[in-house]
């Protein structure tokens, strides 16, 4: 496994991030524990979760699974850079959602209990809160950092101007601010290249792409259909909208001799500023098959051919103004 720094921080993380969203709803706790153990065997030290994962409001089901795994010992917690998130609703009461200072503090305490740890390595805001000022957000995060409950802070699903606003406010408070941004980014969905990626690079944020295979559409969906395997309705809709591109993509992958999933992740790893795409296995076999992407090297000619199939949006303002 290869490692890199998370943005401008000194924190070393694996080039693949283990996503845990399937732990609970799609993978039993026993299977989830096996996947996490296997991830460590592969050298993956970067795990991502969220307080809402598990999709049973207020239970933090996935965080509990990760916490029970940590509690087994064997230096599991010491080896892992654990990232979790807050923002989503954890109850029907009005203050258990979004990014008020009150919710930041209480949500952190609850995640710490579920994760059975005394600190969160990377605490991420799952979405931008348009109604809470950045000074209030940073005051709460600064408190958690001083207390040693949070080490680094990251964002997710933030626009480029949100990142700039956050970082300039943090600068005025003499606070480190964000070290990472987690965004939807893959060959089919490249809109973050307009402003989010340039802002992240300017401010030294590591980019953590989620859904690197566009819900499986870039993971060999045509091959799977030939084998009689079905896709979810969402994935099928993506295929219907982009069939010609995906056909060309899978033909190129056949020519390269690599699985489409490996090529899709390798392409992300080749993009400037990308730290670690998130892989979200439901089984150990899926995890094992994902690790090979780190060893795939795409030359400039291949990257150019991929750009032909999936045209880049281009950074702002050049994407829409001369």
In sequence order, what are the beta bridge partners of 278?
A: 17
Residue 14 in contact with residue 43, Cβ under 8 Å? yes
CA-CA distance, 16 to 23, in Å (whole number)?
17
53: left (phi over 0), alpha (psi -120 to 50) or beta: beta
Which member of 53, 123, 203, 249 is catalytic? 53
Residue 36 in contact with residue 47, Cβ under 8 Å? yes
CB neighbour class for 164 (10 Å; exposed up to 12, middle 13-18, buried from 19): middle
Number of helices and strands (H, E) in the chain? 12, 10
Residue 4 three-state SS: strand
Let me know if 53 is a catalytic residue. yes
Backbone angles phi, psi at 13, to 5 degrees: -130, 155
Residue corresponding to tokens 């600190």: 119
109: left (phi over 0), alpha (psi -120 to 50) or beta: alpha
Alpha-helical regions (H) of the chain = 29-41, 61-70, 76-79, 101-115, 134-146, 160-172, 196-203, 221-226, 233-256, 260-269, 284-291, 300-309
In sequence order, what are the beta bridge partners of 120?
A: 150
Active site members? 53
């Amino acid at each position: 496994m290869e490692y890199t720094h998370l943005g401008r921080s000194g924190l070393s993380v694996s080039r693949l991030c283990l996503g845990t969203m399937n732990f609970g709803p799609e993978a039993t706790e026993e299977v989830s524990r096996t996947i996490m153990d296997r991830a460590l065997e592969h050298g993956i030290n970067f795990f991502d979760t969220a307080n809402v994962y598990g999709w049973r409001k207020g239970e933090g089901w996935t965080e509990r699974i990760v916490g029970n795994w940590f509690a087994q010992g064997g230096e599991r917690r010491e080896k892992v850079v654990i990232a979790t998130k807050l923002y989503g609703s954890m109850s029907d009461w009005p203050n258990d959602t979004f990014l008020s200072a009150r919710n930041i503090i209480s949500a952190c305490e609850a995640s710490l209990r579920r994760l059975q740890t005394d600190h969160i390595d990377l605490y991420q805001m799952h979405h931008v809160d348009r109604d809470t000022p950045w000074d209030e957000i940073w005051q709460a995060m600064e408190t958690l950092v001083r207390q040693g409950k949070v080490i680094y802070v990251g964002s997710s699903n933030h626009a480029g101007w949100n990142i700039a606003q956050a970082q300039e406010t943090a600068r005025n408070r003499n606070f480190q601010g964000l070290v990472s941004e987690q965004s939807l980014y893959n060959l089919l969905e490249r809109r973050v290249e307009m402003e989010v990626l340039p802002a992240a690079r300017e401010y030294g944020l590591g980019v953590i792409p989620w859904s690197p295979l566009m819900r499986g559409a870039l993971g060999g969906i045509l091959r799977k259909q030939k084998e009689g395997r079905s896709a979810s309705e969402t994935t099928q809709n993506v295929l219907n909208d982009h069939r010609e591109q995906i056909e060309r993509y899978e033909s190129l992958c056949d020519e390269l001799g690599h699985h489409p999933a490996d090529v899709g992740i390798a392409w992300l790893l080749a993009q400037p500023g990308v730290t670690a795409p998130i892989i979200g296995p439901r089984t150990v076999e899926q995890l094992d098959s994902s690790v090979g992407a780190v060893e795939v090297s795409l030359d400039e000619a291949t990257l150019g051919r991929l750009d032909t199939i999936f045209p880049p949006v281009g950074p702002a303002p050049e994407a829409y103004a001369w």
